[in-house]
Amino acid sequence: MPSTITLDEVTVSVSVPGGDLTLLKPTSLVLDQPRIALIGSNGSGKSTLARLINGLIEPTTGRVTVDGLDTVDDGAAVRRRVGFVFTNPDAQLVMPTCIEDIALSLRRSIKTKKTRLAMAQDVLDRIGLGEKADTTVHALSGGQKQMLALAGVLATDPAILVADEPTTLLDLRNTQLIADQLFGLDQQLILVTHDLDLAARCDRALVVDDAAIAFDGEPAEAIDHYRRLAGVP
């Protein structure tokens, strides 16, 4: 059963020379479908909305909760429930080799090194990178890096996965591989994407425009709305 993510009159703004810049206008939402897409133009506020969900960004006003846990007051507990995959896996892969990066995710839950490495190897085998265990992450292809970054997050078994444009830097084949992986998960998926085919596979889609929710509903209608906003037939 999907988790319930609630935004209650949330705004986000940052101070810039000459005043405040609004990244998200007052927004109230309840997200409880298994797969939700966030679409919109570059700089519209999609990533801000996504990053609020696991506390990477704190609301300036209002409150964000995940299954009742406040993302500010219960940040560590929220991050245990919400995994986050970034656009660029290079920033997300923080250990020198593949197996060590997966093992890093497991350090908090598994204290025995032998068990931790065995589990990390198992995770790598499942995503088809078993033979790359001792390879430096630097030497992987873009698709392999993104798959490894995804595996590193899933290794901790989060209830929700937020993926911020995970296929933007990938070619067609790797986009397909990552998409198949994402849509095959049991986890609730919040997908920020410019790939409208992926958005169409979700249960609900939100169009973000000018730091606000411009449309919220069926993916097909959301995509039409987004096309009209972008002036693309």
Residue that the structure tokens 């991050």 belong to: 79
| Residues 142-181 as x/- pattern, contact with other proteins by CB under 8 A | ----------xx--x-------------------------
Residue that the structure tokens 């940040």 belong to: 75
Position among 115, 122, 138, 230 found at the interface with other proteins (CB under 8 A): 138
CA dist., res. 72 & res. 160, Å (int): 17
CB-nearer residue toward other proteins: 169 or 214: 169
Q: How far is the CB of 222 from other proteins (least distance, A)?
A: 26
Position among 45, 86, 132, 190 found at the interface with other proteins (CB under 8 A): 86
Position among 58, 72, 96, 118 found at the interface with other proteins (CB under 8 A): 96
Position among 76, 231, 232, 233 found at the interface with other proteins (CB under 8 A): 76
The two beta strands, 61-66 and 5-16, are antiparallel
Let me know: does 215 contact 225? Beta carbons within 8 Å.
yes
Q: How far is the CB of 224 from other proteins (least distance, A)?
A: 32
Position among 134, 197, 210, 224 found at the interface with other proteins (CB under 8 A): 134
Going from the C-alpha of 138 to that of each of 92, 96, 132, 171, 194, the distances in angstroms are 12, 8, 12, 18, 26
Question: Does residue 194 touch other proteins according to CB under 8 A?
Answer: no
Identify the sign of the CA torsion 126, 130, 132, 133: positive
CA dist., res. 147 & res. 178, Å (int): 7
HSE toward the beta carbon, residue 3, CA cutoff 13 A:
23
Interface residue list for other proteins (CB under 8 A): 54-56, 75-76, 79-80, 83-84, 86, 88, 90-97, 99-100, 103-105, 107-108, 113, 116-117, 134-139, 152-153, 156
